[in-house]
């Protein structure tokens, strides 16, 4: 072999190697883009679109919990500013000077519970019939029982002795 032939073979080999690497890079890029869109479709299939605006009350997932599987929400916090479609600045009532940025996946809307009011009306039913509203009323008449009659009609007298009957 000629030294010149060896030099040509090396140069030719390097060019072929470069061309193969460019082709592999192109194939890898195409496959990467294909898989990226496939994974995005898979991820977006079960996502819930969450949008919060300034002033909304939210709950935030607590990251410092004793058990990693336990889900703990802290809040309510108030959205102070929307940085992007996915990031929001949240402030909590007790920490006025400390605002923190949270991703939308760590937030859920806070719904204030309605306050329960118990109402008891002690008026007679006859007075309530004049009203338009129909409110439930509790009977103020007490039911009196004659326990001697109940005791006499009971079959327990046959099974109890005289001392047990008179003690109660």
Asked if 60 and 105 sit in the same domain, the reply is yes
Q: How many CA atoms lie within 13 A of 106 on its CB side?
A: 17
159, part of any domain:
no
Residue 162 forms part of a structural domain: no
The mean pLDDT of 87-94, rounded to a whole number, is 90
In a domain, 51, yes or no: no
* pTM attached to this predicted model: 0.48
pLDDT digits (tens, 9 = 90+) for 97-143: 778 999 998 999 998 887 776 666 666 666 656 666 665 666 666 66
94 confidence band (pLDDT: 50, 70, 90): confident
- From CA 59, how far away is CA 78, in angstroms rounded? 9
- The separation between the first and the last C-alpha atoms of the chain, rounded to the nearest angstrom, is 126
Residue 68 lies in a domain: yes
Q: What pLDDT score was predicted for residue 142? A: 63
Q: What is the mean pLDDT of residues 54-81?
A: 88
pLDDT at 90: 94
Cα–Cα distance, 13 to 5 (Å, whole number): 12
Q: Domain of 85?
A: 56-109
Number of domains in the chain: 2
Q: Rounded CA gap, 87 and 81, in Å?
A: 9
**In this predicted model, what pLDDT tens digit does every residue of 31-66 receive, in sequence order?**
999 999 999 999 888 888 888 999 999 999 988 877
Q: Are residues 34 and 66 located together in one domain of the fold?
A: no
**Mean residue pLDDT across the chain:** 81
Ramachandran angles phi, psi of 66, nearest 5°? -65, -35
Is residue 31 situated within a structural domain?
Answer: yes
- What pLDDT score was predicted for residue 63? 82
CATH of the domain at 79: 2.30.30
Residue 158 lies in a domain: no
Percentage of the chain lying above the pLDDT 70 cut: 71
C-alpha span between 101 and 107 (Å, rounded)? 11
**Does any domain span residue 70?**
yes
Query: Is the confidence at residue 2, as pLDDT, over 70?
Result: no
Answer whether residue 166 is part of any domain. Answer: no
Separation CA 79–CA 58 (nearest Å): 7
pLDDT for the residue numbered 62: 87
User: Rounded mean pLDDT of 1-11?
Assistant: 70
What does the pLDDT read at residue 58? 94
What is the DSSP secondary-structure string of 83-133?
-SSSEEEEEETTEEEEEEEEEGGGEEE--PPPPP------S-HHHHTTSSS
Q: pLDDT value at position 46?
A: 83
Does residue 80 surpass a pLDDT of 70?
A: yes
């Amino acid at each position: 072999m000629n030294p010149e032939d060896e030099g040509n073979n090396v140069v030719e080999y390097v060019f072929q190697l470069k061309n193969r690497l460019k082709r592999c890079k192109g194939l890898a890029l195409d496959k990467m883009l294909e898989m990226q869109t496939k994974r995005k479709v898979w991820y977006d299939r079960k996502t819930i679109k969450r949008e919060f605006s300034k002033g909304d009350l939210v709950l935030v997932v607590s990251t410092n919990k004793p058990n990693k599987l336990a889900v703990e929400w802290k809040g309510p916090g108030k959205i102070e500013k929307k940085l992007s479609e996915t990031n929001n600045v949240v402030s909590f009532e007790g920490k006025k000077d400390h605002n923190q940025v949270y991703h939308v996946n760590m937030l859920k809307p806070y719904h204030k519970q309605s306050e329960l009011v118990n109402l008891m009306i002690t008026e007679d039913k006859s007075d309530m019939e004049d009203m338009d509203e129909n409110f439930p009323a509790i009977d103020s008449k007490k039911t009196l029982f004659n326990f001697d009659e109940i005791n006499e009609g009971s079959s327990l007298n046959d099974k109890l002795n005289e001392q047990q009957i008179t003690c109660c």
